[in-house]
């Protein structure tokens, strides 16, 4: 795990290239893109994993998917498609301890979900 750089980005302590912001979510370009489009959908409210989400905040997860889909359509990925990925825990490959959704697209990604 590395520091929660996403909280630092949202607080303005670190720079990132944001493509979308609202009161609940920021969408930034991944610093190490794995596809022509590789974005991270990040909730402003800090929580590390889905496991911490309570019923009170459950709708936030759904809104994260809606933000991802909106941004994908804004970037004209809607017709060709895109992939959303959530890494959880060490075996899941999570590096940044702040919940986020990867959005990948801009090419045919193929069937593989791991390298
Ligand atoms: P995960 O493995 O799901 O925790 O993914 C973390 C992602 O954050 C990786 O794809 C990194 O390339 C990306 N990342 C790390 N630091 C930054 C940063 N400063 N700005 C944008 N993306 C970052």
Which two three-digit tokens encode residue 78?
Answer: 């809607």
Residue of 86, 84, 48, 52 whose CA lies nearest to 66:
84
Chain position carrying tokens 């590096």 = 95
Residues in the chain: 115
Task: Indicate if ligand 1 lies below 6 Å from the C-beta of 5.
Answer: yes
Phi and psi angles of residue 101, each rounded to the nearest 5 degrees, phi first: -115, 130
CATH topology of domain 5-105: HIT family, subunit A (3.30.428)
CA distance 38 to 3: 21
- How many Å from the N-terminal Cα to the C-terminal Cα in the chain? 20
The gap from C-alpha 92 to its chain's centroid, in whole angstroms, comes to 15
Task: Indicate if ligand 1 lies below 6 Å from the C-beta of 49.
Answer: no
pLDDT tens profile 1-42: 567 999 999 999 999 999 999 999 999 999 999 999 999 999
CA distance 83 to 48: 21
**Is 43 exposed, middle or buried, given 0-12, 13-18 or 19+ CB atoms closer than 10 A?**
buried
Quick check: 74 pLDDT over 70?
Answer: yes
What does the angle CA 78 – CA 96 – CA 15 come to, to the nearest 5 degrees?
Answer: 75
pLDDT tens profile 44-66: 999 999 999 999 999 999 999 99
Ligand 1 centroid from CA 21, angstroms = 17
Domain segments of the chain: what residues?
Answer: 5-105
Which two three-digit tokens encode residue 55?
Answer: 């019923």
Task: Indicate if ligand 1 lies below 6 Å from the C-beta of 8.
Answer: no
Provide the whole-model pTM: 0.95
């Amino acid at each position: 795990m590395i520091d929660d750089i996403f909280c630092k980005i949202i607080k303005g302590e670190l720079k990132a290239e944001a493509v979308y912001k609202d009161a609940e979510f920021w969408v930034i370009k991944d610093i190490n893109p794995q596809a022509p489009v590789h974005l991270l959908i990040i909730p402003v409210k800090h929580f590390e994993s889905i496991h911490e989400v309570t019923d009170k905040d459950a709708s936030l997860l759904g809104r994260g998917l809606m933000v991802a889909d909106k941004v994908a359509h804004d970037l004209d990925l809607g017709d060709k498609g895109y992939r959303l990925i959530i890494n959880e825990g060490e075996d899941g490959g999570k590096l940044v301890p702040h919940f986020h959704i990867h959005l990948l697209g801009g090419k045919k990604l193929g069937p593989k979900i791991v390298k």
